[in-house]
């Protein structure tokens, strides 16, 4: 299995995040990517390649140009307004909630609120470099699939599935899975499916494709009545317009174990098969793990081998995009177990 990876991810290095009403140590940190990269090398799954140059036009097919401009120019604007050049973590503090106008202000504080949807996603001097490199990893992985590869692992960091068409949040800035799916469509795949197995609903991916019938999105996640992102990911969200019927959410209760999770996975895979996808993008979140610090499912490390094996039954070409997972000490084992299960099952058919 080819892995695409960029060390540029380390330039996004948050120290703190907002949680439970206070600043706490950040959990979406560079060691997440470093640990998985080291484990992939040791496991010897196959070649590891750097990404190609990011195609800005591709990014703007899933994100609005003004939003991409904001991300790219953010740190220079921060410096131009006389803010602290030593700042590592910056947060919005005001949002255009219902009753206010969602406009692009001249002032940076207004723009941060305009282009975000939570207060827990810090930006810093290296955020754009890392996020754009992460997107290029996903783009490149999709390109290798279009070139004939059967499966590719896109070791993306920061993650992407929460990134909306024009807003960041949930530690995500550019939607890597959506960029991969769009790249596959551009290269000739008539139908692409995105399967999100992160603990949290991929609200950004859903929003990007919600009115499109060419990309089927399905997500297995903690019930948003009880978990982030709360305001998207419910079972009654089935798509709109041309996309009606091309969106399937499978919310599960807090405390879900493998037995219940595997049933939901079968439901999602059956829907993908019915859709007839020519290629699949998997948003691989490993935060369904029993010891993840911000999640409340109970999958074990052995269960990730079972997850990978189930995913390996898919016959369409697959881009596996790394998303969440914050139990850093266990992340490498869980990633390797997933990919091992996938490759073993894929090899045997």
For 281-293, what is each residue's pLDDT tens digit? 999 999 999 999 9
Note the pLDDT of residue 277: 97
Q: What angle do CA 47, 50, 56 make, to 5 degrees?
A: 140
- Across residues 152-173, what is the average pLDDT? 98
- Across residues 332-342, what is the average pLDDT? 98
Q: Dig out the tokens for 227 from the structure.
A: 């978990």
Note the pLDDT of residue 15: 97
pLDDT at 83 over 80: yes
pLDDT at 349 over 80: no
CATH code assigned at 8 = 3.40.800.20
Name 99's Cβ contacts closer than 8 Å, sequence gap at least 6.
none
Note the pLDDT of residue 77: 96
Place of tokens 């692992």: 153
Q: Per the structure, how many domains does the chain have?
A: 1
- Across residues 124-135, what is the average pLDDT? 98
Give the span between the Cα atoms of 283 and 322, in whole angstroms. 6
Note the pLDDT of residue 32: 98
**DSSP alpha helix (H) spans, the chain:** 30-43, 56-62, 65-80, 108-114, 127-146, 176-186, 203-209, 258-275, 301-311, 328-348
pLDDT at 346 over 90: no
Residues facing residue 220 across a β-bridge? 250
Average pLDDT along the chain: 97
pLDDT at 348 over 90: no
Indicate the pLDDT class of residue 156, thresholds 50, 70 and 90. Answer: very high
Identify the sign of the CA torsion 288, 293, 294, 298: positive
- What is the percent of the chain where pLDDT is above 70? 100
Note the pLDDT of residue 347: 82
Tell me 164's DSSP state: B
User: Active-site positions?
Assistant: 162
Note the pLDDT of residue 2: 98
For 35-79, what is each residue's pLDDT tens digit? 999 999 999 999 999 999 999 999 999 999 999 999 999 999 999
Give the span between the Cα atoms of 34 and 9, in whole angstroms. 9
Place of tokens 């829907």: 271
pTM: 0.98
Give the span between the Cα atoms of 306 and 51, in whole angstroms. 29
Note the pLDDT of residue 150: 97
Indicate the pLDDT class of residue 222, thresholds 50, 70 and 90. Answer: very high
DSSP three-state, residue 51? coil
Indicate the pLDDT class of residue 261, thresholds 50, 70 and 90. Answer: very high
Q: Residue 206's domain spans which residues?
A: 2-348
Residues facing residue 318 across a β-bridge? 151, 280
For 292-302, what is each residue's pLDDT tens digit? 999 999 999 99
Note the pLDDT of residue 165: 98
């Amino acid at each position: 299995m080819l892995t695409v990876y960029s060390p540029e991810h380390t330039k996004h290095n948050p120290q703190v995040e907002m949680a439970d009403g206070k600043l706490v140590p950040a959990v979406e940190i560079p060691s997440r990517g470093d640990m998985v990269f080291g484990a992939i090398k040791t496991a010897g799954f196959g070649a590891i390649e750097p990404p190609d140059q990011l195609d800005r036009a591709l990014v703007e097919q899933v994100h609005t140009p003004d939003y991409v401009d904001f991300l790219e120019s953010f740190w220079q604007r921060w410096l131009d307004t006389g803010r602290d050049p030593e700042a590592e973590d910056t947060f919005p503090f005001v949002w255009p909630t219902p009753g206010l106008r969602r406009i692009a202000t001249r002032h940076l504080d207004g723009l941060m609120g305009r282009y975000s949807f939570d207060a827990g996603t810090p930006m810093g001097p290296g955020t754009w470099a890392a996020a754009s490199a992460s997107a290029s990893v996903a783009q490149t992985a999709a390109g290798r699939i279009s070139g004939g590869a059967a499966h590719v692992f896109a070791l993306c960091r920061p993650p992407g599935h929460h990134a909306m068409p024009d807003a960041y949040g949930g530690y995500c800035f550019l939607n890597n899975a959506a960029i991969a799916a769009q790249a596959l469509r551009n290269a000739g795949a008539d139908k692409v499916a995105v399967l999100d197995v992160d603990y949290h609903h991929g609200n950004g991916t859903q929003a990007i494709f919600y009115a499109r019938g060419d990309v089927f999105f399905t997500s297995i996640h903690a019930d948003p009545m009880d978990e982030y992102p709360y305001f998207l990911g419910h079972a009654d969200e089935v798509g709109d317009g041309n996309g009606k019927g091309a969106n399937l959410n499978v919310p599960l209760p807090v405390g879900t174990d493998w037995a219940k999770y595997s049933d939901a996975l079968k439901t999602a895979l059956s829907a993908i098969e019915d859709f007839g996808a020519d290629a699949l993008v998997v948003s691989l979140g490993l935060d369904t793990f029993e010891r993840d610090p911000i999640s409340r499912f109970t999958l074990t490390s052995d269960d990730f081998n079972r997850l990978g094996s189930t995913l390996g039954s898919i016959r369409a070409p697959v881009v596996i995009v790394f998303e969440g997972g914050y139990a850093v000490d266990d992340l490498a084992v869980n990633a390797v177990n997933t990919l091992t299960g996938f490759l073993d099952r894929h090899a045997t058919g």
